A and B are shown apart, each in its own frame.
Chain A
Amino acid sequence: MARYILTRLLQAVFVLWAAFTVSFILLQALPGDEILIKFENPDLGLSKQQIADIRLAYGADVPLHQQYLFSLGRVLSGQLGNSIQRGVPVIDAIAANLPSTLRLTVLGFVTAASLALVIAFLATLTPFAFLRSLLRGLPSLFISLPVFWLGIVLIQVFSFQLKLIPVIGAGPWEGLVLPVLALAIPISAPLAQVLMRSIDEVETQGFVAVARAKGASRRWVLWRHVFRNAVPPTLTIGGVLFGELLAGAVVTETVFGLNGLGRLTEQAVNLQDAAILQAIVLIAALGFVLVNLSVDLAMPILDPRLRKAFGGAS
């Protein structure tokens, strides 16, 4: 088990380095750079010579490998520098955006998972066939709703028409209700779908029939046997959906005018804000590594068969 965790940690370090390096290369491959975008902007009206001086001052013309080593060295020494585009320390920009994105995505994921659970259970337990097929159709509907459209509809209906929740000047939690819903509904769809399918699959297995034959109620079997066996595939999908959650957060944050890493990323990519992008790439890679690591570590707890693989540790 210890060896397994160590391997995974080394892998994690490699993933972080690779993410940093690939993002550096991709940034270089894009046409233009942040200094060109910032200072060629007509709003500043600088002359050619003035821009050339600025390029020199920022060291934008030194060879690429030196720039790479410089930024890698800076990150390794724990410094993130200042964003030229925004004129603030990168750490401040991240601090202003990370907590709200974490709140939004964690709440969004929890809501999506609860929604998926409710849909999957109702779709299995509801007595009438037409209701069941209606519920089974829900994920297809949910996944085809574009997040920005859903966001605008929620705002128009709940905030502007019914005036239940303000979009502007809402409290920190109150203001999250609609964005979380807008984010959770499309995300819940694949979760619900996978959960329903695994429940269907598990229900056809012999041990379920045995449990039923022993006189257990449908609900008890579902909860006690089927559900436990149906969860692992859903958990895997959940890990993968983390990325989608961030993508959804970009749109949600833009529509609702929220602070967040999603919006910060979108703007940083557009403006080729290297300092902020590299910080975000590292945070995102770290997030992915942690989520997938905890999914992998949680699997053996849920599935005893996997525990054997680690040499019978329990």
Chain B
Amino acid sequence: MSDGLRTPAPSRRAFLAGTASLATSVALGSGVGAVQAQGTAPVTGGRLVYLEQQAHTNLYPPAGGFYPNGGVLNQITDKLTYQNPKTLKIEPWLAESWSFNADRTEYVFKLRKGVTFSDGTPLDAAAVAKNFDVYGKGSKELRHPVSEVINNYAGSEVADPLTVRFRFSKPSPGFLQGTSVIGSGIVSPATLDRRFDELGDATKIIGSGPFVVASEQLGRELVLAARKDYAWAPASSANQGRPYLDEIRYIVTGEDSVRIGALLAGQADVIRQVQAYDEAQVEKAGYRIYAPSTRGVNNSVVFRPDNPLVADIRVRRALLHATNAKEIVESLFSEHYPQATSVIASTAQGYVNLSDKLTFDPAKAQALLDEAGWKPGRNGVRQRGAQELALTAYESLPQPQNRATLQLIAQQWARVGVKLTVLAGDSGSRATDDLDPLKTPVSPAMVGRADPDVIKSQYHWENRDMLRQKPGRGKVNEFVDAKLNELLEAIAAEVNEEKRLDYVVQVQTYLLDQAYVIPIFEEPQAFAAAPYVQGLGFEAVGRPSFYNTWLAKR
């Protein structure tokens, strides 16, 4: 989304790199869950300064996919269920228990007693029903869009003040996990009575979370205060009472070098978005890098096969084998960015290791291109007749070092005679051209969500439609893959968990066999924190949770 003004990376890097030595860097693993100093009791009180790269936009919970939004919503809202980031199992939270029918078209949730929103109103079945009615159906009048994670929603019933029933028009096995995600945070009915275009004001978002928005300076600073009467954390949380911190100050600091510098100079405690090339200097100073996995579809490039240049499977397979993901990961990233071994992350549900399909083999790539009729031409670019094998991709601003990644891929493809032009472009051009496979035959893509539905959401024409199929969202002439769609729909509808994961395996295999996707690396969210910051946690897809966080003596 709105990245601030971008200054050339080398100048920042050169200025800050200093004499960072890689040898001394300390690996901290994936940093998922709470890291706690052993043998010391948490200290209550204190203020944490958190530097965000971008300001939050609209805080309507289903818009929480944008990381700056999720980073705020995760502190101020609770969900019906809690997805344990270690086990990925769904645990009780606002809902004490739940049940569903055999074909997963009906779910009943029993709510916990005594939960209140920060404005004092009770969080009861009526409030929960209202939340999901809006998230599931949207609201024309108030312009609330439908939530991506709630499909086939038919309606709700309040059975008693603490029991709510949801009905679906089709089997919806993904709904239970869907109640645990950031986009399903429960807010007070008063919040949902406001128009969508008023919800960018954080002070208007009333949740039941451990923190409350105390004040906001739009676009610059947000102050969250602890809710002293908070007493409804998930059972697996170490803390069960009020949050340890008194206050969190979110400050928007767009410039990478300023966030890092401020952290190391003691002006901030936790920062989000640390580039891989800055990790060494953070660790050298004794600070910690946290890189929780996003557990979804890997950082990849996808093809739009409606474009005649990449309609031929041999061309796509050639480019897959011409791509050296190992080189990308080793030269641009760090150990926190594992090389992809499938379409989805190794920490995702239903993952299967398909690295034998992802070999780097330029000779094979050359042979496939020869076979497809693309002969070496002028300036090293292959030609078929008068046509050049020249492709275009837009960089994606939210993805880490995406421009550098695409440029390195362009170099790798150039070695087999394929030209890739990497465009920056303004948001309008990017959004428009991205719908047209003729203009963007290649596109970077990733999405984080810890449920098998994520792969369906990414590739089905009804959802994100990354491959641009007919009759999806793009300007597409004819491309449609019925077999893929059938498999994807099976993931969304299969009620047997084992069979469902088997479909996920089949989709991964199919996507790579068709070479629709070239997975590059498993994308983490990278944070850095001062050594005295304890108990920093992350939800299942890497959004920070400050509930268990406390500040040890400096």
- Residues of A that sit less than 8 Å from B by CB: 30-33, 36-37, 39-48, 50-51, 53-54, 57-58, 82-89, 92-93, 96-97, 148-149, 152-153, 155-156, 159-160, 163, 166-169, 250-251, 254-259, 263-264, 266-267, 269-272
Tell me the smallest distance from the CB of B295 to a CB of chain A, in Å. 16
Contacts of A155 in B (CB 8 A): 258, 261
A250 to B4 CA separation, bound complex (whole angstroms): 10
Q: Verify B428–A32 contact, CB threshold 8 A.
A: yes
Q: Mark B357-397, 1 if CB is under 8 A from A, else 0.
A: 00000000000000000000000000000000000000000
Contacts of A84 in B (CB 8 A): 197
Q: Verify B49–A96 contact, CB threshold 8 A.
A: no
Q: Verify A266–B65 contact, CB threshold 8 A.
A: no
B549 at the interface (CB under 8 A from A): no
What is the number of residues of chain B that contact chain A, defined by CB distance less than 8 Å? 68
Q: Verify B249–A267 contact, CB threshold 8 A.
A: no
A299 to B389 CA separation, bound complex (whole angstroms): 63
Enumerate the 3 nearest inter-chain pairs by beta-carbon distance, A residue then B residue, closest first.
A87-B200, A45-B148, A32-B428
Contacts of B431 in A (CB 8 A): 32, 36-37, 40-41
Of the listed stretches B5-13, B107-115, B125-133, B339-347, name the one at the interface; the rest are far from the partner chain.
Answer: B5-13
Contacts of B252 in A (CB 8 A): 257
* Given A32-B431, A251-B5, A271-B427, A259-B261 contact (CB < 8 Å): no
Residues 241-260 of B at the A interface (beta carbon under 8 Å): 249, 251-255, 257-258
Partner of A86, one of B51, B200, B432: B200
Tell me the smallest distance from the CB of B541 to a CB of chain A, in Å. 13
Tell me the smallest distance from the CB of A258 to a CB of chain B, in Å. 7
Q: Verify B427–A255 contact, CB threshold 8 A.
A: no
A255 to B6 CA separation, bound complex (whole angstroms): 10
Residues 151-206 of B at the A interface (beta carbon under 8 Å): 195-201
Q: Verify B57–A169 contact, CB threshold 8 A.
A: no
Tell me the smallest distance from the CB of A214 to a CB of chain B, in Å. 56
Q: Verify A152–B198 contact, CB threshold 8 A.
A: no
B472 at the interface (CB under 8 A from A): yes
Q: Verify B262–A168 contact, CB threshold 8 A.
A: yes
Tell me the smallest distance from the CB of A256 to a CB of chain B, in Å. 7
* Given A39-B145, A168-B49, A159-B265 contact (CB < 8 Å): yes
Q: Verify B262–A160 contact, CB threshold 8 A.
A: yes
Q: Verify B427–A37 contact, CB threshold 8 A.
A: yes
Q: Verify A160–B264 contact, CB threshold 8 A.
A: yes
Contacts of B465 in A (CB 8 A): 48
Contacts of A269 in B (CB 8 A): 426
Contacts of B415 in A (CB 8 A): none
Partner of B219, one of A32, A48, A96: A96
Q: Verify B428–A169 contact, CB threshold 8 A.
A: no
Q: Verify B427–A32 contact, CB threshold 8 A.
A: yes
Tell me the smallest distance from the CB of B129 to a CB of chain A, in Å. 21
Q: Verify B267–A167 contact, CB threshold 8 A.
A: yes
A160-B261, A254-B254, A266-B5 provided; 12 other pairs, C-beta below 8 A? A30-B428, A31-B429, A40-B435, A53-B140, A87-B198, A92-B201, A155-B258, A156-B257, A168-B267, A169-B251, A256-B258, A270-B2
A32 to B428 CA separation, bound complex (whole angstroms): 5
Q: List 20 A-B contacts (CB under 8 A).
A: A30-B428, A31-B429, A32-B427, A36-B431, A39-B145, A41-B431, A44-B65, A45-B148, A47-B146, A87-B201, A88-B197, A88-B198, A88-B201, A93-B218, A152-B15, A156-B15, A159-B262, A168-B253, A169-B267, A263-B219
Contacts of A41 in B (CB 8 A): 1, 66, 431
Residue of A nearest to B62 (CB): A44
A60 to B492 CA separation, bound complex (whole angstroms): 33
Contacts of A266 in B (CB 8 A): 4-5
Residue of A nearest to B16 (CB): A156
Partner of B57, one of A53, A82, A85: A85
Residues 454-493 of B at the A interface (beta carbon under 8 Å): 457, 462-465, 471-473
B217 at the interface (CB under 8 A from A): yes
Q: Verify B4–A254 contact, CB threshold 8 A.
A: yes
Contacts of A163 in B (CB 8 A): 265
Q: Verify A30–B198 contact, CB threshold 8 A.
A: no
Tell me the smallest distance from the CB of A282 to a CB of chain B, in Å. 19
Q: Verify B201–A259 contact, CB threshold 8 A.
A: no
B447 at the interface (CB under 8 A from A): yes
Q: Verify B219–A58 contact, CB threshold 8 A.
A: no
Tell me the smallest distance from the CB of A33 to a CB of chain B, in Å. 7
A105 to B467 CA separation, bound complex (whole angstroms): 47
Q: Mark B436-449, 1 if CB is under 8 A from A, else 0.
A: 00000000010100
A256 to B59 CA separation, bound complex (whole angstroms): 25
A256 to B254 CA separation, bound complex (whole angstroms): 8
Tell me the smallest distance from the CB of B515 to a CB of chain A, in Å. 22
B228 at the interface (CB under 8 A from A): no
Residue of B nearest to A56 (CB): B140
Q: Verify B218–A96 contact, CB threshold 8 A.
A: yes
Partner of B426, one of A30, A57, A159: A30
B303 at the interface (CB under 8 A from A): no
A155 to B447 CA separation, bound complex (whole angstroms): 35
A153 to B466 CA separation, bound complex (whole angstroms): 42
Residues 50-87 of B at the A interface (beta carbon under 8 Å): 51, 57-60, 62-63, 65-66
A40 to B443 CA separation, bound complex (whole angstroms): 15
Q: Verify B220–A31 contact, CB threshold 8 A.
A: no
Q: Verify A96–B220 contact, CB threshold 8 A.
A: yes
Contacts of B65 in A (CB 8 A): 42-45
Partner of A57, one of B58, B140, B199, B457: B140
Partner of B7, one of A39, A83, A148, A263: A148
Partner of B463, one of A30, A45, A259: A45
A37 to B457 CA separation, bound complex (whole angstroms): 19
A153 to B16 CA separation, bound complex (whole angstroms): 10
Tell me the smallest distance from the CB of A67 to a CB of chain B, in Å. 16
Residue of B nearest to A264 (CB): B219
Residue of B nearest to A82 (CB): B197
A87 to B196 CA separation, bound complex (whole angstroms): 7
Contacts of B445 in A (CB 8 A): 42
A84 to B196 CA separation, bound complex (whole angstroms): 8
Tell me the smallest distance from the CB of B50 to a CB of chain A, in Å. 10
Contacts of A46 in B (CB 8 A): 145-146, 148
B138 at the interface (CB under 8 A from A): yes
Contacts of A159 in B (CB 8 A): 261-262, 265, 267
A163 to B267 CA separation, bound complex (whole angstroms): 10
A46 to B60 CA separation, bound complex (whole angstroms): 14
* Given A166-B267, A254-B255, A257-B258, A272-B427 contact (CB < 8 Å): yes
Residue of A nearest to B267 (CB): A168
Contacts of A272 in B (CB 8 A): 427-428
Q: Verify B472–A48 contact, CB threshold 8 A.
A: yes
Q: Verify B432–A32 contact, CB threshold 8 A.
A: yes
A269 to B428 CA separation, bound complex (whole angstroms): 10
Residue of A nearest to B428 (CB): A32
Residue of B nearest to A267 (CB): B2
B268 at the interface (CB under 8 A from A): yes
Q: Verify B7–A257 contact, CB threshold 8 A.
A: no
Contacts of A31 in B (CB 8 A): 428-429, 432-433
Contacts of A43 in B (CB 8 A): 1, 63, 65-66
Contacts of B499 in A (CB 8 A): none
* Given A88-B218, A257-B251, A271-B427, A167-B197 contact (CB < 8 Å): no
Contacts of A40 in B (CB 8 A): 431, 434-435, 473
Contacts of B435 in A (CB 8 A): 40
Residue of B nearest to A40 (CB): B431
Q: Verify B427–A270 contact, CB threshold 8 A.
A: yes
Tell me the smallest distance from the CB of A155 to a CB of chain B, in Å. 6
